[in-house]
Structure 1
C-alpha cells in the first residue's frame, strides 16, 4: 500500500498523467478504518513520492528541453496540448517558484511542475525549496485531513446511520467537483484572454473616409 501510493504520486509528479490525488485520498480513508495502515508512514511515502518524482521530472525537463514537451504533446495530447503548455508557462512566468508550490494543489500543474521548471531553466535551489514545501503541505496535509475526516465519519457512523455517512460523502464529493469545475472555468478564461488580445491587436484600424 505505502509503496504503491508513493510510486503513483511519484510518477504523476514526474510528468505521467496518473490519478495520484485519488489514490492518496482513498488510501487515507482506508487508513482511518484499517488499523494495519499507519497514516504517518502513508503520509511520509506520499511526501517522498511527490518530492522525488518532481525532482526527476525537473532533471528530465532540463535535459530534454522544449523537444520533450513536443514529444509529451504527441503521447498525451489531452494533458500536454499546446494550449495547456502555454497556460502552464504563463503561470511559471508570472509566479516563478510559487507555481511549483501552488501547482501541487492543481491537477494540471501537478503534472507539469517538475518537467516545465526544468525546461524553463528555473534555478534548482528555488525549485527544490518550492518542491519540498509543496510536497509536505500537499501530500502530508491531504493525508492528515482525509484521515481525520475518515475517523470523524467512522465515529459518527457508529452513533447514527449509514444514510448520514452517505449524505456526508455526497456533500464532500459535490464540494470537490464544484472546486474542480471553478478551477477549470478559471483556466479556460485565462487561456482565452491572450487569444482575444492577439485578435484585437491584429484587427486593422478603420481607414477614415476621404472628404
Structure 2
C-alpha cells in the first residue's frame, strides 16, 4: 500500500507511519495504531481507520481482518486505561483530588455516583466521541464496573465506530481526503468544546473558592466581636 497523502504535517506523518505498520505486519499494525490512539487521544482514529479500509480495498488484507484487529486494538487500549483507573481506586483518587487546587473530593464522589447510574451508556456511546472515548475507561476502572460488562460495551461501541470508518476508506479509496477535512472539523469542534468546559469549570471553581474565603473571613470577624474605634480609626482598648 502506498501513501495516500502528500501532507507534511504531523497528521500526514502519522498516516504514513500507520501505512508503514500495515505494510509491515498487516492488519495487526492497524490494531496497534488504534490501541495507541486509545492511550494517546490526540491520535485520530478518524484518520487511522480509513487507511485500514483503503489497504483492505487494495487487497493487502481482508476487510473482516481490518475490522477484527482494529476492534481488538480498541479493546486492548481501553482495558489498559480501565486498569489504570482500577489501580488508582476511589481512595487514592480522593487523596489526589484533595491536593489539587481547583478540585474537591466531592467532585470525585459525584462523578463516581453518576457513573454508577449511567456508566453503561457512557462507555457505549462514549466510543463515538473523540477524546471522551479514551478517558471514559478511567472512571469505569475507578468505579470497578464489572470487567466483562465494560469489555462487552467497549467492544460493541468500537465495532460500530471502527466498521463505519473502515467502510468509508473501503468505498472512497484515495478520495477519502475529501471527507477527512470535514471529520477534522468535527474533531476540532469537540476539542474546543472540551477546552471551554475545562475553562468554565476552572472559572466556576475559582469563584467558589474566593466566595468561601470571604465567608470564612466574615465569620472570623463575627466571632472576634465588634471593636470600638475613635474618629481617627484607631481601635480603643477595652481595658480599664
Q: Tell me the TM-score normalized by structure 1.
A: 0.64
For 2:112 and 2:190, locate their aligned partners in 1 and report how far apart those are by CA, in whole Å: 14
Give the aligned length: 174
For 1:50 and 1:61, locate their aligned partners in 2 and report how far apart those are by CA, in whole Å: 17
Confirm or deny that 1:23 pairs with 2:36.
no
Q: Is the 8 A contact 1:57 1:114 kept in 2?
A: yes
Selected match of 1:55 from 45, 64, 79: 79
Selected match of 1:177 from 165, 181, 184: 184
Q: Is the 8 A contact 1:6 1:49 kept in 2?
A: yes
1:20 Cα deviation from its structure 2 partner: 6.0
For 2:42 and 2:191, locate their aligned partners in 1 and report how far apart those are by CA, in whole Å: 18
1:14-46 deviation line (CA, Å, top 9, x unaligned): x345736133222212323x1232111111111
Give 1:1-211 correspondences, 5 Å limit: 1-13=26-38, 15-16=39-40, 19=43, 21=45, 22-32=47-57, 34-65=58-89, 93=114, 95-150=118-173, 169=177, 171-201=178-208, 202-203=210-211, 204=214
Higher relative contact order (CA 8 A, sep 6+): 1
SS at match of 1:107: coil
1:90 Cα deviation from its structure 2 partner: 5.5
Structure 2: gaps spanning 5 or more residues: 1-25, 96-101, 219-240
Cα separation, partners in 2 of 1:184 and 1:52, compared to 1, 3 Å = closer
Mean Cα deviation higher: 59-68 or 179-188: 59-68
Rg larger in structure? 2
Structure 1: gaps spanning 5 or more residues: 71-81, 154-164
**RMSD, aligned α-carbons:** 3.7
Cα separation, partners in 2 of 1:176 and 1:12, compared to 1, 3 Å = closer
1:78-106 deviation line (CA, Å, top 9, x unaligned): xxxx99xx9xx969946522222233233
Identify the residue that residue 74 of structure 1 maps to in structure 2: none
Q: Is the 8 A contact 1:28 1:143 kept in 2?
A: yes
1:147 Cα deviation from its structure 2 partner: 1.4
Q: Is the 8 A contact 1:91 1:99 kept in 2?
A: no
